[in-house]
Structures are given as C-alpha cells and as structure tokens.
C-alpha cells in the first residue's frame, strides 16, 4: 500500500524552542494532507487540513500561529510547533489522501514530541 513517512519519529526539546515535523507521501501525489494530534488512550484529533499551494485550514481551537503548516509540494507538508511548551507534548500524526485509490487516506508512523 501507499506509504507516508514522517520525520523525526521522536523529538525532545527545551521549552521555548521550535520543532519542525516533516510529512512525505512516498509514492503518490497528495493535494491534501492532514495533521492530527493524539493524546494517550484517545482517538485522533484533527488539527488542520493542509492544501498544496494554499493556506491550511485549522480546526476550531487550534492556534495557527502556534502550529505553522506549510504544504510546499504535492509530496511534502511540514508542521512547525513554535515556542513549544510542555503542554504541546503529544503524538503528532500526519495523513495524506491518495486521489487515485478511491481516495484512501494513509497515515504516517507519527512523531512523539516531548517538551521539557
């Protein structure tokens, strides 16, 4: 099946620093990518929808200046957590929709962020 990669798989950073997470669709072009956040033992919470070449659409309650999303190409979207704080520690998962396979949505392996 289609593969979506994320980098890094885990990151530890100091409070106040910014962290960038990359999401790539490896064998298909994705005009739409999604960023989710998942807390322990909970389901996924959609943060934003990333559209190639345009501004991301953020869900209610998600700060767009805090979580910067850039969808620079059809295979790459990035999420930057700016001025990270301990409460931003979470599991972040990206997803990409393959327009050619019944619009199946594929998910990356996730990035675990720990802010000290």
At closest approach, how far in Å is the CB of 106 from other proteins? 6
At closest approach, how far in Å is the CB of 83 from other proteins? 26
* Contact in structure between 73 and 54 (CB atoms under 8 Å): no
In three-state secondary structure terms, 38 is strand
Cα gap 108→55, rounded to integer Å = 21
At closest approach, how far in Å is the CB of 82 from other proteins? 24
Phi, psi of 33 (to 5 degrees): -125, 155
Q: According to the binding rule CB under 8 A, does residue 105 interact with other proteins?
A: yes
Pick out residues in 8-27 that bind other proteins (CB under 8 A): none
Residue 63, CA distances (Å) to 9, 17, 40, 81 in order: 23, 17, 21, 10
Q: According to the binding rule CB under 8 A, does residue 44 interact with other proteins?
A: yes
* Contact in structure between 26 and 94 (CB atoms under 8 Å): no
- Please select the residue that binds other proteins; options are 16, 72, 104, 116, rule is CB under 8 A: 104
Q: According to the binding rule CB under 8 A, does residue 76 interact with other proteins?
A: no
The total number of residues shown for the chain amounts to: 116
Binding residues (CB under 8 A) for other proteins: these are: 1, 4, 6, 31-32, 34, 42-44, 46, 49, 51, 57, 91, 93, 95, 102-110, 112
């Amino acid at each position: 099946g289609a593969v979506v990669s994320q980098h890094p798989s885990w990151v530890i950073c100091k409070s106040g620093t910014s962290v960038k997470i990359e999401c790539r669709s490896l064998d298909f072009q994705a005009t739409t990518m999604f960023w989710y956040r998942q807390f322990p033992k909970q389901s996924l919470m959609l943060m934003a929808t990333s559209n190639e070449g345009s501004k991301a659409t953020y869900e209610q309650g998600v700060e767009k200046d805090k979580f910067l999303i850039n969808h620079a190409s059809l295979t790459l979207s990035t999420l930057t957590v700016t001025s990270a704080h301990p409460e931003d520690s979470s599991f972040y998962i990206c997803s990409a929709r393959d327009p050619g396979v019944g619009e199946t949505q594929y998910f990356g392996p996730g990035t675990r962020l720990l802010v000290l």
